[in-house]
Amino acid sequence: MYQYDDFDRAFLDERNRQFRAQVERRVDGALTEDEFKPLRLMNGVYLQLHAYMLRVAIPYGTLRSDQMRALADLAERWDRGYGHFTTRQNIQYNWPRLADIPDMLDHLATVGLHAIQTSGNTIRNVTADHFSGAAADEIADPRPVAELLRQWSTDHPEFQFLPRKFKIAITGSPNDRAVTRSHDIGLRMIERGGEAGFEVLVGGGLGRTPLIGQVLRDFLPRADLLPYVESILAAYNAAGRRDNKYKARLKITVLEGGLDEFRDAVEAEFPARRAAFTGVDQALLADITDFFAPPAFRDADEGLLDAARAVDPVFRAWTDTNLHPHRRADHAIVTLSLKAHGATPGDATAEQMRAMADLADAYGYGELRISHEQNVILPHVPKDALPALHRELKAQGLATANVGLASDIIACPGMDYCALATARSIPVAQAIALALEEREAEVGQLKIKISGCINACGHHHVGHIGILGLDRAGVENYQITLGGDGTERAAIGERTGPGFPADRIVPAIERLVDAYLDLREDADEPFIDTYRRVGMDPFKAALYDQAGDTAHAA
């Protein structure tokens, strides 16, 4: 995994020193809040409903165990003992004191972490497939490229004051777990004629105007990446709208001008940008790649796993849902669910973070990952260690066997924390998880995603069932969308019709699940496939048919 060198350390120390001085000027009153705002945003500090909020980047979702312990330290020493993992591989602390934030940043710097460009109208934390470097289906590990992009985008002088925020995601697998089609730039690592390169997607996004990214370049040679991405940013910086923040994202630039016009602007920009890169970046990429060499895997006895599965049904259920195929047959990728039924999705206590770090050291070569689905992953676990790992996870409340199931819900912080939210989302997620807990194994793969306002931080547009909380004349109202998909089969969900008040949204979701169980061909047809086969109408009937409503209520 990547280790900071002298350059990275010197950069971060200087940046933290500058921000400390700015915080001091704010605290003593020399800077007003309005003057301070752009400065704090560049360093990940938001002003939330009740207090400041610090958003720390977890670049490409990869953490070492010592970094996870530092995140626990922050929660314990400067916050209320927990942190919240977000849908973009960040962790948020909701209760820091402004005067403490410089100390928090210095502590993060000791393990090579920072909060730079986690907010503001700039290039945000570059996200990647959370199974990178471990998945059986991977073509290439995207993390070295993501680290190169992190360095290139950090403090990039041209792109700190863009029309709007800018998000990049990268995957090295044909099965898209990084939601690349919902990003301003999505990069898919591919090969053509033996040459490594990228498929470049642009203009995806959720929010008020959900759009699926389009192919800007079907094959970009590997060495052209930085100048090409820089050309996209330059074209966007010049052409993106600045008159209306809701029309300022790249997706609107592409939508309004057309993909061809935008491509022409990028290609016109490219030759001069390409000439500025002499190959030093590719040499650096080679050095970075060495850091991501896989750990020294030990051989594991697969027989132990089968024996444990045979005697322990709880363990068997957990392995059915929370394991994914590893590149080595005798290892597994293990997802630790932060979605215990009735808990706040994505929250982890300092104690849990330390426990996960210890388990990574004991069973997983000291590596962890954070997924955009707000779970924590041990990417390399020898299969014979799984029974012992599961025992320890149970003790920490981290063995919930629900990954990919109905209660593995993505939810934004909602009105409980967020200044923009128009409705609560966490309590709704908790209530749905509890209502579906008993039969979720029978229901199978079902992605429910909840946003507390139209900015769509809960990714509801790409949920198989999406829920959008709105304010209707002072009353919370929840709209439902069906059929969304964030994978390589990307689709934006379709609205069912009128929304439901807070006290009727959970029964409505239960009616949808009942309808699915009636409609599916067999237990192997997941919700999204049934929806694609039968369409909206039968689900709509189940939702709004009064007779049905009464029958279920009885």
Residues that bind other proteins (CB under 8 A): 7, 10-11, 14-15, 32-34, 37-39, 47, 49, 52, 98, 121, 148, 151-152, 154-162, 226, 234, 237-238, 242-244, 272-273, 276-281, 284, 415-416, 419, 474
Other Cβ atoms within 10 Å of 34 Cβ, number: 7
Residue 122's Cβ-side half-sphere holds a number of Cα atoms within 13 Å equal to 25
Residue placing its CB nearer to other proteins in the complex, 354 or 424: 424
Burial class (CB in 10 A: 0-12, 13-18, 19+), 188: buried
> How far is Cα 10 from Cα 359, in angstroms, rounded to an integer?
32
For 167, 216, 236, the CA distances from 201, given in Å and listed in that order, are 12, 5, 14
Name the minimum Å distance from CB 109 to other proteins.
13
Q: Which residues contact 338 (CB under 8 A, 6 or more apart)?
A: 85, 345, 346, 347, 348, 374, 375, 376, 398
**Nearer Cβ to other proteins (55/354):** 55
Question: To the nearest whole angstrom, how small is the minimum distance from the Cβ of residue 263 to other proteins?
Answer: 17
Residue of 120, 218, 231, 214 whose CA lies nearest to 167: 120
Sheet holding 367-370, edge to edge: 62-64, 367-370, 376-382, 331-336, 323-325
Q: Give the shortest CB-349-to-other proteins separation in angstroms.
A: 23
- Smallest gap from residue 41 Cβ to other proteins (A): 10
Nearer Cβ to other proteins (13/191): 13
CB of 234 to other proteins, least distance (A): 5
User: What phi, psi does 202 have (nearest 5°)?
Assistant: -135, 160
User: Is 417 or 539 the residue whose CB approaches other proteins more closely?
Assistant: 417
Residue 488 CA from chain centroid, whole number:
16
Pairing of strands 465-472, 448-451: parallel
Cβ distance to other proteins smaller for residue 46 or 318:
46
Provide the minimum distance between the beta carbon of 181 and other proteins in the complex, in angstroms, as a whole number. 26
Q: Of 153 and 173, which has the nearer Cβ to other proteins?
A: 153
């928090």: which residue's tokens?
104
CB nearer to other proteins: give 163 or 463: 163
Residue 133, SS3 per DSSP: coil
User: From the CB of 35, what's the least distance to other proteins, in Å?
Assistant: 8
Among residues 32 and 550, whose Cβ is nearest to other proteins?
A: 32
The conformational region for residue 474 under phi > 0 = left, psi -120 to 50 = alpha, else beta, is left
Nearer to other proteins, 164 or 331 (CB): 164
Q: How far is the CB of 502 from other proteins (least distance, A)?
A: 12
Question: Smallest distance, Å, CB 418 to other proteins?
Answer: 12
Query: From the CB of 33, what's the least distance to other proteins, in Å?
Result: 5
Instruction: Give the nearer residue to other proteins in terms of CB position, either 214 or 422.
Output: 422
For the bound state, the minimum distance from the C-beta of residue 222 to other proteins, rounded and expressed in Å, comes to 15
First CA to last CA distance, the chain? 57
SS3 of 288, please? helix
- At 219, which helix (H) or strand (E)? strand 214-221
User: Looking at the DSSP assignment, which residues form a beta bridge with residue 195?
Assistant: 192
Residue type, 81: G
C-alpha R_g of the chain: 23
Across the beta sheet with 45-47, the strand order is 45-47, 52-57, 90-93, 82-85, 347-349
Question: Which lies closer to other proteins via its Cβ, residue 417 or residue 531?
Answer: 417
- Of 78 and 297, the one with the shorter C-beta distance to other proteins is 78
Q: Least separation, in Å, of the C-beta of 83 and other proteins?
A: 21
The residues, ordered by sequence, that sit 6+ positions from 206 with a Cβ below 8 Å of its Cβ are: 182, 456, 459, 460, 461, 462
